[in-house]
Amino acid sequence: MLQTINPFLVAGFLFFLSLVAGTLSEKIKVPALILFLGIGMLAGVDGPGGLDFSDANAANQVGTFALAFILFSGGFQTQWSDIKPIVTQGVVLSTLGVLLTAVAAAVPIAMLPQFTYKDAFLLGAIISSTDAAAVFSILRTQKIGLKGTLKPMLEFESGSNDPMAVFLTITAITWLTSPDVPLSELAVKFVVQMLAGGIMGFVMGKFACYMIQRLEVANEALYPVWGISIVMMTFGITETVYGNGYLAVYICGIVMCDGNFLYKHSLQRFHDGFAWLMQIIMFLVLGLLVNPLDVINIPVISAGLLISFALMFIARPIAVFICTIFGKLNFREKLFVSWTGLRGAVPIILATYPLTEGHPQAKYMFNVIFFVVLTSVMLQGKTLGWAAKLLKLDAAVREAKTYPLAFDITPGSGNQETREVDLLPDYAIIGHEVKELKFPEGVSILLINRGSKFLIPKGGTVLESGDTLLLFGERAKLSEVEKNLSVQADNNNESK
């Protein structure tokens, strides 16, 4: 039906429905990606929309483009200081953990009569990576926080394990199509890809920060164009030198997040919104590619249930427990990390690779993987909050506040930033006036959030429990303020 309507109207209508679905997902506690995929499927050839889309190559290209911006945005929101304590553990999980998941999942898959052991490894590789967006959108909608370093570790692992899954998928396809390629050659290729990806990501991140500090763009609105160009150049240059473009854009984002340049916060907000647009486009296209009638049949459902069970209860836990054997996670934390191995858009994108290569089982694989993703998101996604509470790892989630002011760093301002500090009941400064605070020189209170009100701080303003201070100053000094407040709170508790 939609094929007979103006394409601009069709695209606008689908975007509008996706926006409504994204808002609705928080109320009905269903992951947004499921609703986006559902809209795409309803618009497809088997749905009321009637759009006939079966171009796997186009879907693959759209997915690659979208994923590059999604990963960059994830890195651009990640501060090095947050992930530094867990970076070693995260790297192990995002590399060795992905490989172990692929191998462990391949064993039961190989028992299915439809697949050879090479097909089984290909399927295992495709479903080996977790989806950061799925995990944290679910935690946000369920208003569940996590204790300790669990959140940054899961975020870093989910954001950085896609390159490994892509490499394993391409390796498995090479193994199927060119069985004479020696393993040593594939191992060298892996090292080159990861090293080149890491180096190019770091170099391009530094280059972007350096250039943007020296650009004198008259129109502020052009800075997002600069941001888009950086992502595309980073991915393109890295792939040209045989590096991993996905890893490069993610690291480039992390480097830029720690950088200092004009309109940084505005650029972060733009890329956050642009990443959501890319997610919507990607899920809609993948939904269009799926024929629901092909997914809802006995062979696909039976194989999908077996693979989902093996992935959730065998492969992922084995990988997590082996990779964290020398880490600091306790048993309950390991169980939770095992359960947060949600599958999302990346496995569906990777499932288009066999389609583009003309693999004889490609369509069946695609439908099975689609079913596995739906099962993972619906079962694990709906129970994440429950699992965190059961394992006593949940914490109060901090609602992001919107302040009635906006400003950006100006050239030459050093490593200055804003930071929110919540005043807990045991903080020593509760009940004192602002003028009594002994903050380091250069640290200022811009605003005080008290309930639904925003107060302009004055010398006589009395601080209350539950206030949130919006501070401005150098990064190191802000960290010093936060540390001093927590130390004072600990001293108060000990004296009691």
> Which residue in the block uniquely carries the two structure tokens 């602002």?
434
Mark residue 446 as left, alpha or beta (left: phi above 0; alpha: psi -120 to 50; beta: remaining).
alpha
pLDDT recorded at residue 486: 60
Going residue by residue through the chain, which has 496 residues, state the pLDDT in tens, using 9 for 90 and above.
Answer: 666 778 889 889 999 998 888 888 777 767 777 888 889 888 888 888 888 888 889 998 998 999 999 899 989 988 887 788 888 998 999 999 999 999 999 999 999 888 889 899 999 999 998 876 666 666 666 666 788 788 888 888 888 888 899 989 988 898 888 777 787 888 888 899 999 999 999 999 999 998 887 877 777 778 889 899 999 999 999 999 999 999 999 999 999 998 877 778 788 889 988 988 998 898 899 888 888 888 888 889 999 999 999 999 999 999 999 999 988 889 999 999 999 888 888 898 899 999 888 888 889 999 999 999 989 888 888 788 888 889 988 876 655 566 566 555 554 455 677 778 888 787 888 888 888 888 888 888 888 888 878 888 888 899 988 888 888 888 778 878 877 776 554 444 444 4
pLDDT recorded at residue 496: 45
Q: What does the buried/exposed string (b/e) look like for 117-144 if buried means 16 or more CB atoms within 10 Å of the residue's CB?
A: eebbbbbbbbbbbbbbbbbbbbbebbeb
What are the helix (H) ranges across 290-361? 292-295, 298-310, 316-323, 331-339, 345-350, 352-357
Rounded-to-integer distance, Cα 220 and Cα 217, Å: 7
**CB of 22 within 8 A of CB of 32?**
yes
- C-beta atoms surrounding 318 within 10 Å: 17
Q: What does the buried/exposed string (b/e) look like for 227-252 if buried means 16 or more CB atoms within 10 Å of the residue's CB?
A: beebbbbbbebbbeeebbbbbbbbbb
Domains of the chain by range and CATH? 2-395 (1.20.1530.20), 416-495 (3.30.70.1450)
**CB of 317 within 8 A of CB of 384?**
no
Q: CA distances (Å), 431 to each of 31, 255, 420, 422, 436, in order?
A: 42, 40, 19, 14, 10
DSSP 84-123: GGGHHHHHHHHHHHHHHHHHHHHHHHTTSTT--HHHHHHH
- C-beta atoms surrounding 45 within 10 Å: 17
Structural tokens at position 180: 């004479």
350: three-class secondary structure by DSSP: helix
Q: What pTM value is reported for the model? A: 0.81
